[in-house]
Amino acid sequence: MALAVTERELQLLLSESPFTSIYGFRLHAIAEGQCTLDVPFQTAFERPGGLVSGPVFMAAADVAMWLALLTRLGPADGSVTVEMKTNFLSAAKQEDFRCTAKILKLGKRLVYGVAECVTREGTLLTHHTLTYFRPDSAQQPAAPQSAGKPRKPGRRS
C-alpha cells in the first residue's frame, strides 16, 4: 500500500510548524503507520542535573505518532491527541535520542498507538501509549431513524 503522504511533506511539516520546529526534530524513517524521528540534544532541553526534560520525550512521541497517522490518512487529516500515557524508564543526559511511533489500531473514530524513545545505543528511555480522535469521521451524518418507530431509552441508533 502506498503512503498517503510523502517524506518531503512530512519534512516540511516538521520544519515549518512552529510547535515542531522548536525541537529540531528530524525525520529518520517512515513506513505505513510508522514514523521514526531523530531528536538532537539542545541545552534548552536540560533540567537540573543535565538530564533531558520529560516533556521533550512526550513531544517527540506525540509528533512521531501524528506523522505516523499522516502516512495512513494524508496531510489534510485533522486527528488530535486525546490521551497519552508516558513511562519514563531511563534517563538521557545531554544526548540525542530517537523516537519511533507505530499505529496499533486505526479505527473509524479512534486511533491507538505506541511510541518508544531510545538512545543511539538502543537503551529504552520512555514508553508511550497514545490515543487520537478522528474528528472528520465524527462529522458524518448519522443514519436516519425509522419513521414511526419510537426509540427505546438507552439505545443508540
Query: What number is the average pLDDT over the span 29-38?
Result: 98
**Average confidence (pLDDT) over 3-28:** 94
Bridge partners, 116 (sequence order): 100, 127
Q: Which CATH number belongs to the domain containing residue 111 in this structure?
A: 3.10.129.10
- Of 55, 103, 54, nearest in space to 79 by CA: 103
Q: How many CB atoms lie within 10 A of CB 60?
A: 27
Q: Read off the C-alpha cell for 126.
A: 520512555
Q: How many domains are contained in the chain?
A: 1
**Which domain range does residue 11 map to?**
7-136
Query: Is 56 within a domain?
Result: yes
Q: What would the pLDDT profile of 131-144 be if each residue is shown by its tens digit?
A: 999 998 766 544 44
Residues β-bridged to residue 111: 106, 132
Question: Is the pLDDT at 155 greater than 80, yes or no?
Answer: no
The radius of gyration of the chain from alpha carbons, rounded to an integer in Å, stands at 19
In a domain, residue 13? The reply is: yes
Residue 99 domain-assigned (yes or no): yes
pLDDT of amino acid 1: 73
Does 1 fall in a domain? no
In a domain, 152, yes or no: no
C-alpha 78/C-alpha 110 separation (Å) is 12
Establish if 50 belongs to a structural domain: yes
What is the identity of the amino acid at 122?
G
Answer yes or no: is 151 within a domain. Answer: no
pLDDT of residue 152: 53
The reply to whether 153 falls in a domain is: no
